[in-house]
């Protein structure tokens, strides 16, 4: 039997009107900022993100102890921002998968594993960058 989501009949793909008016100009900028802060609050609930924030602090301390150049700080901060963005996307993937596929599914598991791998790649990139600065940057 097809699953009915949020009271919709299966096969009904009509585009529904937005429940709110679309904002423009500065109102849009303020709304987008508010949505981003809501996303940050949601992300903060994830232990992995809190660990990544701790990694940011640790990396900054290591760079400071090394006497790193400002450009090295910039490189590290940019890599960390990309990591945070990918972590947010991974969390969104996990939330959507949990919503639409609460039962076990190979496809759902693969989607979650791929998101996790993307985060892992950036964690490795950050660690390698800090190690390179600590060992070889002059």
Q: 94: annotated binding-site residue?
A: yes
In a domain, 112, yes or no: yes
What's phi and psi for 70, nearest 5 deg?
Answer: -55, -35
Domain count, the chain: 1
Please report whether residue 99 resides in a domain: yes
The whole-model pTM stands at 0.81
Tell me if 52 is assigned to a ligand binding site: yes
Q: Which of 8, 14, 87, 103 is catalytic?
A: 87
Q: For residue 98, what is the domain's CATH number?
A: 1.10.287.3610
Q: Is residue 78 included in any domain, yes or no?
A: yes
State the DSSP string of 35-54.
HHHHHHHHHHTSHHHHHHHH
Domain-located, residue 14: no
pLDDT band at 137 (very low <50, low <70, confident <90, very high): confident
Q: What digits encode the pLDDT tens for the residues 50-83?
A: 999 999 999 999 999 999 999 999 999 999 999 9
Is position 51 within any domain?
A: yes
Q: What's the burial of 65, exposed, middle or buried (CB within 10 Å: 0-12/13-18/19+)?
A: exposed
Residue 92 lies in a domain: yes
pLDDT reported for residue 83: 99
Model confidence over 19-43: pLDDT tens digits?
A: 777 888 888 999 999 999 999 999 9
Q: How far apart are CA 138 and CA 19, in angstroms?
A: 56
Residue 27 belongs to some domain of the structure: no
- pLDDT value of position 22: 84
Q: 4 or 135: which carries more pLDDT confidence?
A: 135
Determine if residue 9 is labeled as part of a ligand binding site.
no
Q: Is 9 an annotated catalytic residue? A: no
**pLDDT at 11 exceeding the cut of 60:** no
Domain contains 93: yes
User: Residue 129 is part of which domain span?
Assistant: 46-136
* Number of H-type helices and E-type strands within the chain: 4, 0
Is 95 annotated to bind ligand? no
């Amino acid at each position: 039997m097809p699953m009915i989501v949020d009271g919709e009949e299966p096969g009904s793909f009509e585009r529904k009107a937005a429940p709110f008016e679309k904002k423009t100009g500065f109102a849009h900028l303020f709304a987008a900022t508010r949505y981003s802060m809501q996303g940050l609050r949601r992300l903060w609930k994830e232990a992995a993100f809190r660990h990544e924030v701790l990694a940011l602090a640790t990396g900054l301390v290591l760079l400071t102890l090394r006497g790193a150049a400002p450009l090295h700080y910039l490189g590290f901060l940019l890599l960390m921002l990309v990591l945070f963005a990918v972590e947010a996307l991974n969390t969104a993937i996990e939330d959507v998968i949990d919503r639409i596929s609460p039962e076990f599914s190979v496809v759902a598991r693969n989607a979650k594993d791929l998101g996790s791998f993307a985060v892992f790649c950036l964690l490795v990139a950050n660690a390698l960058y800090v190690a390179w600065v600590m060992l070889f940057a002059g």
